């Protein structure tokens, strides 16, 4: 019996078409990576210039304006900031030589000293290889950080003793998180004692104490004393539960109605606050009216009342369900008088809007404006007068977006093709442990185990 083998060759035309399609995908991906580099550069500039003012963060603005998910927006901002100190990686992305996925991974660990080594690995390997390397790299970093954290914890200590001249000397070493906490507390206490701009533009006699302002060290010492006094006060004399955490502001009626009018606007313990701050605090607070005679003596004190009654507040919360500022998703807010009650605005539902603490401050003290439109909708404007829509209009996109993308890449002096971002990997197994030994400056082979 004679057997005849017949070999069927594939049609070369479909194979050629598939190769062309594969090359087009690779080329377009490189164009997108080059465009992503430009996008990150502009995000970094926008972030540095504070263009997102009025939003909690640049990532929040991106989520609102561009439509990115919160996590993706945070990653874009993180990578954009990291690339500011990693010019080689930024350049490779701008030329479409490495993908955004690889750049996103290596910027988690790269420093100016290690970026060249990591970039070389990214050029050679796939995105999966890079992710595995970064995971192992961070393991080494975590081990080093754990050892350093333990050393710092053991070396912590504070010593307080009295010097020969009667002054107390404070010396100490604090762990990073404790030191940061103390610094923030000192800053807050120092700002309470010495608010910036309190006496700006006010002339004082040469022998007046304000003519010789305290140094930063002296202010820090006063702030530390305030922290100690406050801690002891709240431990030994906490006050009534309803009063314990209240902030009391004394403000003249004229100032409350018009920030340009002269008059006092001070906290209960003395420091001044701006008239705009007083107006914000008075929007949704308890109010006590005190009348003074010509000499400043109190002649009458009214009963304490709520600026927004509880029933109206419940209705406001039910209607607004959260902060009304465009793009904000905070559910808990403060009642804002669109026309302030001190300027004649009624405390009615139509004159109220719920704003979170951050955006309430933006409206009162950062130049943002809000107005109720005839149809009942709220219109927010930036300090420049631009309207902030609830949902931004989509940007104009040319009919042939791919051609526009290619043209923009060429206009930036970047030439890409299907081979631009192709890794040099030939299919061999990747020894991540060996790669860490070679690339990571802190790696020690005997102490590491990788599967």
Secondary structure string (H, E, C) spanning 42-104: HHHHHHHCCCCCCCCCHHHHHHHHCCCCHHHHHHHHHHHHHHCCCHHHHHHHHCCCCCHHHHH
Q: 412 or 10, which is more confident?
A: 412
Per-residue pLDDT, 118: 93
> Does pLDDT of 116 surpass 90?
yes
> Does pLDDT of 140 surpass 70?
yes
> Does pLDDT of 264 surpass 80?
no
Per-residue pLDDT, 212: 61
Is-above-0.75 flag for pTM? no
Q: How far apart are CA 123 and CA 371, in angstroms?
A: 54
Tens-digit pLDDT profile for residues 33-65: 999 999 999 999 999 999 888 888 899 999 999
Share of the chain above pLDDT 70, in %: 79
Q: How far apart are CA 100 and CA 30, in angstroms?
A: 9
Q: How far apart are CA 207 and CA 186, in angstroms?
A: 29
> Does pLDDT of 266 surpass 60?
yes
Per-residue pLDDT, 324: 93
Domain map (residue ranges) of the chain: 12-152+402-447, 156-196, 249-388
Per-residue pLDDT, 199: 46
Per-residue pLDDT, 100: 95
């Amino acid at each position: 019996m004679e057997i005849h083998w017949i070999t069927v060759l594939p049609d070369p035309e479909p194979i050629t078409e598939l190769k062309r399609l594969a090359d087009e995908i690779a080329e377009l991906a490189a164009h997108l990576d080059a465009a992503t580099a430009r996008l990150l550069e502009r995000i970094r500039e926008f972030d540095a210039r504070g263009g997102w003012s009025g939003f909690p963060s640049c990532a929040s603005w991106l989520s609102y304006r561009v439509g990115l998910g919160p996590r993706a927006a945070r990653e874009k901002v993180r990578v954009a900031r990291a690339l500011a100190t990693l010019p080689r990686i930024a350049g490779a992305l701008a030329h479409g030589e490495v993908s955004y996925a690889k750049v996103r991974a290596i910027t988690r660990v790269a420093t100016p000293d290690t970026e060249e080594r990591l970039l070389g690995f990214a050029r050679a390997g796939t995105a999966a290889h890079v992710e595995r390397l970064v995971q192992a790299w961070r393991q080494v970093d975590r081990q080093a950080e754990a050892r350093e954290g333990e050393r710092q914890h053991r070396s912590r200590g504070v010593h307080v003793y009295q010097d020969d001249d009667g002054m107390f000397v404070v010396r100490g070493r604090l762990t990073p998180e404790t030191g940061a906490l103390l610094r923030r507390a000192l800053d807050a206490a120092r700002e309470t004692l010495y608010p910036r701009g309190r006496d700006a533009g006010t002339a004082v006699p040469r022998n007046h104490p304000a003519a010789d302002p305290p140094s930063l060290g002296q202010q820090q010492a006063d702030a530390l004393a305030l922290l100690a006094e406050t801690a002891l006060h709240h431990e030994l004399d906490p006050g009534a539960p309803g009063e314990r955490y209240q902030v009391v502001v004394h403000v003249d009626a004229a100032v409350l109605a018009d920030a340009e009018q002269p008059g006092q606007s001070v906290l209960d313990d003395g420091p001044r606050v701006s008239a705009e701050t007083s107006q914000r605090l008075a929007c949704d607070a308890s109010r006590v009216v005190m009348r003074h005679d010509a000499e400043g003596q109190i002649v009458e004190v009214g009963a304490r009342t709520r600026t927004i009654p509880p029933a109206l507040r419940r209705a406001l919360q039910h209607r607004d369900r959260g902060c009304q500022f465009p793009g904000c998703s905070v559910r808990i807010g403060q009642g804002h008088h669109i026309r302030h009650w001190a300027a004649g605005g009624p405390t009615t539902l139509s004159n109220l809007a719920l704003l979170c603490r951050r955006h309430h401050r933006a409206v009162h003290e950062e130049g943002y404006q809000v107005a109720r439109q005839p149809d009942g909708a709220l219109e927010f404007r930036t300090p420049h007068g631009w309207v902030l829509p609830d949902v931004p209009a989509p940007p104009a996109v040319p009919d042939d977006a791919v051609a526009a993308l290619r043209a923009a890449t060429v206009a930036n002096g970047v030439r890409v093709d299907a081979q631009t971002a192709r890794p040099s990997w030939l299919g061999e197994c990747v020894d991540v442990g060996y790669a860490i030994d070679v690339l990571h400056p802190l790696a020690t082979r005997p102490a590491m185990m990788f599967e």
